[in-house]
């Protein structure tokens, strides 16, 4: 059963346009030949409608605060966007 029959599909916000293009075009890309074939299952999920990939500019990727060391102003910007505040006693 497709996701749209059961409920909403999984939306993944991605800032890598090449990644999005690779999932939509099933041909083997020369630059992706180093990626183990078992990781290409996302292509099938996109094709079935279970997963949708949406481009999101790097500047607004809130997940960056969880995955990267950010400099002061960028860190503050991300914590504010997420609603994270400093706790005071």
Q: What was the pLDDT predicted at 55?
A: 94
d(CA 35, CA 5): 32
pTM: 0.62
Nearest to residue 46, comparing CAs of 79, 69, 82, 19?
Answer: 19
Residue 22: burial class (beta carbons within 10 Å; 0-12, 13-18, 19+):
buried
- Segment 35-52, tens digit of pLDDT: 777 777 888 888 888 999
Higher pLDDT, 6 or 59: 59
Range picked from 27-36, 57-66, 74-83 for highest mean pLDDT: 74-83
Kindly list the domain boundaries of the chain, sorted by start residue: 1-56, 59-89
List C-alpha distances in Å: 4 to 46, 53, 64.
12, 15, 29
Cβ(12)–Cβ(55) below 8 Å? no
Predicted confidence band at 10 (pLDDT cuts at 50, 70, 90)? very high
* Stretch 9-16: mean pLDDT: 89
């Amino acid at each position: 059963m497709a996701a749209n029959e059961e409920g909403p599909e999984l939306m993944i916000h991605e800032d890598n346009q090449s990644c999005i293009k690779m999932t939509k075009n099933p041909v083997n890309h020369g630059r992706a030949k180093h990626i183990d074939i078992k990781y290409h299952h996302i292509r099938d999920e996109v094709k079935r409608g279970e997963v949708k990939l949406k481009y999101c500019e790097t500047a607004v990727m809130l997940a960056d605060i969880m995955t990267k060391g950010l400099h002061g102003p960028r860190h503050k910007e991300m914590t504010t966007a997420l609603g994270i505040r400093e706790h005071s006693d």
